């Protein structure tokens, strides 16, 4: 039998692990963009644009010798779609991490805010799950 505190802690830990993996993944993609190594896979991961022709329409054709798109961080940030935000956004992932960390603190039950915290944990969990579903959709298209 699971108690609400155990379920809450398990959800918080799962959210934190998800956020860490997503930060590493999106950080590698943004680093590739900053270093001028933005391939179609990197741009799909960051923007959420899954169609190669649409990527070419938005960013222009890639270089013939290595398939790298000549884009800047600013160009990519302008083209970020809803799926791109699901794939990873530093603010949304940061908010999820803060919610998860606060739920692990032992002072929340004393304040009588379990209902609010549970609601926030549910929203953070939904955001993380939707992000992983979006990532699996993009992985299948490569």
pLDDT tens, position by position, 87-142: 888 899 999 999 999 888 876 556 666 778 888 999 999 999 998 888 877 555 54
pTM, two decimal places: 0.79
Cα separation, 47 vs 16, in Å, equals 23
User: What token pair was written down for 1?
Assistant: 């039998």
Average pLDDT score, the chain: 85
The domain tally of the chain equals 1
User: What token pair was written down for 96?
Assistant: 């999820």
Q: Which residue segment(s) compose the domain that 24 sits in?
A: 4-140
């Amino acid at each position: 039998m699971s108690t609400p505190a155990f379920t809450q802690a398990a959800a918080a830990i799962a959210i934190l692990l998800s956020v860490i993996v997503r930060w590493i993944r999106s950080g590698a993609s943004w680093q590739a963009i900053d270093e001028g190594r933005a391939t179609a896979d990197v741009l799909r991961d960051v923007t959420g644009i899954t169609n190669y022709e649409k990527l070419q329409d938005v960013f222009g054709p890639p270089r013939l010798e290595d398939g790298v798109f000549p884009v800047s961080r600013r160009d990519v940030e302008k083209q970020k779609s809803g799926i791109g935000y699901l794939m990873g956004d530093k603010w949304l992932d940061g908010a999820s991490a803060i919610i998860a960390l606060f739920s692990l603190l032992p002072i929340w039950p004393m304040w009588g805010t379990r209902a609010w915290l549970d609601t926030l944990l549910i929203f953070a969990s939904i955001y993380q799950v939707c992000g992983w579903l979006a990532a699996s959709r993009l992985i299948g298209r490569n």
